[in-house]
Amino acid sequence: MKNSRRKVGKYEVGRTVGEGTFAKVKFAQNTETGESVAVKVLAKSTILQHRMVEQIKREISIMKIVRHPNIVRLHEVLASRTKIYIILEFVTGGELFDRIVHQGRLSENESRRYFQQLIDAVAHCHSKSVYHRDLKPENLLLDAFGNLKVSDFGLSALPRQGVGLLHTTCGTPNYVAPEVLSGQGYDGAAADIWSCGVILFVLMAGYLPFDETDLPTLYRKINAADLSCPFWFSAGAKSLIHKVLDPNPKSRIRIEEIKRDPWFKKNYLRVTLRENEDVNLDDIRAVFDDIEDRYVAEQTELMEGGPLIMNAFEMITLSQGLNLSALFDRHQDYVKRQTRFVSHKPAKVIISSIEAVAESMSLKVHTRNYKTRLEGVSANKATQFSVVLEVFEVAPSLFMVDVRKAAGDTLEYHKFYKKICAKLEKIIWRPAEGMPGSSLLRTMTC
């Protein structure tokens, strides 16, 4: 059996760090500078089959236009005969949603700081006539220094010339503005502001302001802005949230008014933007206009036998990027959110154990090489749920299993991860205190 590690242009491509319906995201390194990047890989056949050429072009163009310290940066776009590679900033701190899941809620000061950074990013998008339309904690990442980065512009909209209102209903229901649900046309800026208000509430409360199991009830609550703030919200926070979560988009507070709000302005640090930064879209035109004839040198290093070998640098990026304190300080609870574990069992035994446990949980199992995809139905039976587990060799006779959500609810994924770890207890190795490397390895355990 053979596994491959390849180069795309000047980038050495490593493990998969995320995947969705139409794309995979892989960790990579710029071989010229040593910089870590994320590579979004899309198959041209899939793009053409689903008639997504214009949507993908739009997403890439938008990310090039909206350059801001609190927005994930797009470096360049490359293509081979069969694939398109979007080279993005590699953000090491994980999803903001993970912080909420594991802490329950954030302090008012911390929530305010993230909200300030979110509003700065959204204001910059709106100044470029770009509306995100799917703002939620899962699309908000954190860098190694704890700064917020907005990602995933797949649903973003640039209004057509002369068209003021948007008409597509999209986004995640709990975060969507009432006028979006009505289907009557809506102002993208006002809709994004509503989503920002829901996010602020979730950060401070630890739960959603509008959360019902059946959609008709959920929609009624959203349309009426039927919410109650917890007792620990300050008066200033409550006042601002009610102004943002105004069901009438015409009277809803605007970004310039949010920035003048006394609660918002506390400890506010204004973002400095690079002046006169040119945006060149030539690489996007070349990739899509000459879709069959453009090539990128793809060199494949074939390795015989077992799973991909993970080098030390990749292991470090698993744990808070360049913030190395997370590798050694076992009192930092947020490290425990890492969804991976280590095992001394042979790679084939690990895979067969995962398959057996998955089948006992009535999940569909698809295994190829040393990667297994598990599929099932979510707890509320409303959506599909899938998880990918991939085995890496980190040392002789020591393997790491990387577990990641492919589809479904993030909170449900965390519950699934704890459950499967409990069932795989016999193959999971937990390093003893004081042994060499134990601090790093402990960040990989359940």
What's the CA gap between 31 and 79, in Å, rounded? 18
* Residue type for position 432: A
**From the CA atom positions of the chain, what is the Rg in Å?**
22
Choose the catalytic residue: 134, 152, 187, 192: 134
Do the Cβ atoms of 138 and 407 come closer than 8 Å?
Answer: no
Question: Would you state the structure tokens that stand for residue 104, as one six-digit string?
Answer: 């329950």
Q: How far apart are the first and last CA of the chain?
A: 29
Alpha helices, H only, 312-409 = 312-317, 325-328, 347-360
Contact 408, 374 (CB under 8 A): no
Sheet bearing 74-79, strands edge to edge: 74-79, 83-89, 36-43, 24-30, 11-19, 2-8, 298-304
Residue 85's nearest CA partner among 302, 296, 314 is 296
> With the C-alpha atoms ordered 216, 222, 223, 225, is the resulting torsion angle positive or negative?
positive
The Cα–Cα gap between 392 and 363 comes to: 23
> Scanning the structure block, which residue is given the tokens 């879209």?
281
**Between the CA of residue 437 and those of 24, 133, 142, 353, what are the distances in Å?**
31, 44, 26, 26
Task: Report whether 299 contacts 6 (CB < 8 A).
Answer: yes
| DSSP code string of 20-41 | -SS-EEEEEEETTT--EEEEEE
3-state DSSP: the chain helix, strand, coil percent, rounded to 5?
A: 35, 25, 40
Query: CA-CA distance, 175 to 195, in Å (whole number)?
Result: 5
Give the separation between CA 346 and CA 326, rounded to whole angstroms: 28
40 in a labelled binding site:
yes
187 is catalytic: no
403, 424 Cβ separation under 8 angstroms: no
Taking the C-alpha atoms of residue 179 and residue 165, their distance in angstroms, rounded to an integer, is 11
Assign 403 to helix, strand or coil. strand
* 155 Cβ contact list (under 8 Å, min separation 6): 132, 133, 134, 170, 171
Which residues are documented as binding site for ATP? 40
Active site positions, annotated: 134
Which residues are documented as binding site? 40
